[in-house]
Amino acid sequence: MTHDTTRRAALAAAAGLLATPLVARAQVQARPVRFSFDWIYNGPYAFGAAGVQQGFFREAGLDVTITRGFGSARVPLDMSAGSFDVAMCDPTPVLRFMSQTPNNDLLAVGLLWDQAPTAVTVRADGPITQISQLAGKTLAAPEFDGGRQVFPV
């Protein structure tokens, strides 16, 4: 008995073979990932919203849940408690936490910005013109702020 393979049948078989990895991937449960920013959603964190809303994380096999943060100083505490799998924060509180609690090491994977987007802001026409003039001054920063970890007051 002979079988004549039509072009249409060959194309259908090829399409089926090519689609097999997609079907298998769709059947695999996405890995849950609990992610936290260090603060509320704002411009630099748009990648997180886009990743979830546009399905980029899901396409990579991840079921990402993003939670807003409450300051960089809280991130190492939340991470060591197991509240999140991955978090983003200023590196200073992580280094401080690791130096104060060496048995609770955290792994810093990398830096998002090559320069910290933090600053001490003063009036251009004010009396402070160099950093040494900040000595004895009151800085406005919440306790959990990454910058506050650098300039503890």
Q: Would you say 88 and 112 are in contact if contact means Cβ atoms under 8 Å apart?
A: yes
Which tens digits make up the pLDDT trace of 30-49? 999 999 999 888 888 899 99
CATH code of the domain made up of 27-150: 3.40.190
Tell me, what DSSP letter sits at residue 65?
E
Which tens digits make up the pLDDT trace of 101-129? 988 878 888 877 777 666 778 889 999 99
The ranges assigned to domains in the chain are 27-150
Tell me, what DSSP letter sits at residue 78?
H
Rounded CA separation 19/134 (Å): 64
The pLDDT of residue 7 is 61
